[in-house]
Copies of this chain bind each other. A is one copy, B any other.
Amino acid sequence: MSKEELKKVSDSKISKKLKKGEAIFKEGEKLDGVFCVRDGVSKLSKLSENGKNQIVRLASKGEVMGQRAVIAEESTNLSAIAVSDMEVCFIPKEIISNTLDTNPNFAVEVLRHMAHDLREADDVIVNMSQKTVKQRMAEAFLYLRKNYGEDEDGFLTLSLSREDYSNVVGTATESCIRIISEFKKKGFIKTSGKKIGIADERKLLDLIDGF
């Protein structure tokens, strides 16, 4: 079964709609299959011992959630919560494991995908440990524009709450808010209500590079 075939399977399934804030699955659960995002965006996060929440990655259209746990036959280490209204479909693990066992191409394709995820995770580790909160905030804005685009007025299509931002960059919500204020004052970004737009990409890039 190729990726395209799998997509067909997934398209034929009845998909589930979720409202912003609803959970698709929670950390520690056993998953009976994987979830494929048809529309909207989900945050994949993990609770640390001290009660703080860390958003490890975001998943949007076409991306699959839960495959790591299903493949490793473990309970999931992450929670998936909708950050916008969503439509997801479910693919039972039996289909996954059957296809894995019988079709080497599929396995290799999944493998490539996971190799890619792993590289991204490595990059996140380096960013988290070597960059300042301001630099991480700047990267978050650029990442969101690159991956989810902006509207006709130049505001990010995917709007996260301040708390979500703080959970992405790994900082206190207050610090996050302060940095947003500072960036706005300096003209790096613009805001309108809770919408945020990039006003000066160059300045953000300079900040990331340490200038």
Q: Which stretch of A35-43, A121-129, A141-149, A154-162 is in the interface?
A: A121-129
What's the Cα separation between A15 and B47 when bound, in Å? 43
Task: Tell me the chain A residues, 15-72 only, with Cβ under 8 Å from chain B.
Answer: 46, 48-50, 52, 54, 56, 67-69, 71-72
* Overall SS of chain A's interface: helix
Q: A124 contacts which of B107, B119, B123, B125 (Cβ < 8 Å)?
A: B125
- A98 smallest CB distance to B (angstroms): 11
> What band does the interface of chain A fall in when counting residues whose beta carbon is under 8 Å from B?
35 or more
A125 and B130 in contact, given A71-B112, A111-B111, A114-B111 (Cβ under 8 angstroms)? no
Q: Which residue of B lies closest to A168 (CB)?
A: B129
Which of B49, B73, B77, B129 touches A128 (beta carbons < 8 Å)? B129
Q: How far is the CB of A75 from chain B (nearest CB, A)?
A: 11
- Please give, as numbers and ranges, the residues of chain B lying within 8 Å of A169 by CB-CB distance: 129
Tell me which of B46, B50, B77, B117 contacts A210 (CB under 8 A).
Answer: B50
Residues of chain B contacted by A105 (CB below 8 angstroms): 101
Do residues B123 and A77 form an inter-chain contact, with CB atoms below 8 A? yes
Q: Does B122 lie within 8 Å of A78, measured CB to CB?
A: yes
* Residues of B with C-beta under 8 A to A67: 115
Q: Which of B101, B115, B125 contacts A104 (CB 8 A)?
A: B101
Q: Out of B69, B107, B127, B129, which one reaches A107, CB within 8 Å?
A: B107
Interface flag for A102 (CB, 8 Å): yes
Residue in B closest to A50 when the chains form the complex, CB atoms: B210
Considering residues A110, A114, A116, A209, which has the most beta carbons from chain B within 10 angstroms of its beta carbon? A114
A126 to chain B: closest CB distance in Å? 5
Q: Is the CB of B72 within 8 A of A170?
A: no
Q: How far is the CA of A42 from the CA of B56 in the complex (A)?
A: 26
Interface presence of A201 (CB below 8 A): no
Q: Which residue of B lies closest to A100 (CB)?
A: B108
Return A83 CB to nearest CB of chain B, in Å.
18
- Looking at the complex, which one of B49, B121, B208 makes contact with A209 (CB distance below 8 Å)? B49
Indicate if the CB atoms of B104 and A100 lie closer than 8 Å: yes
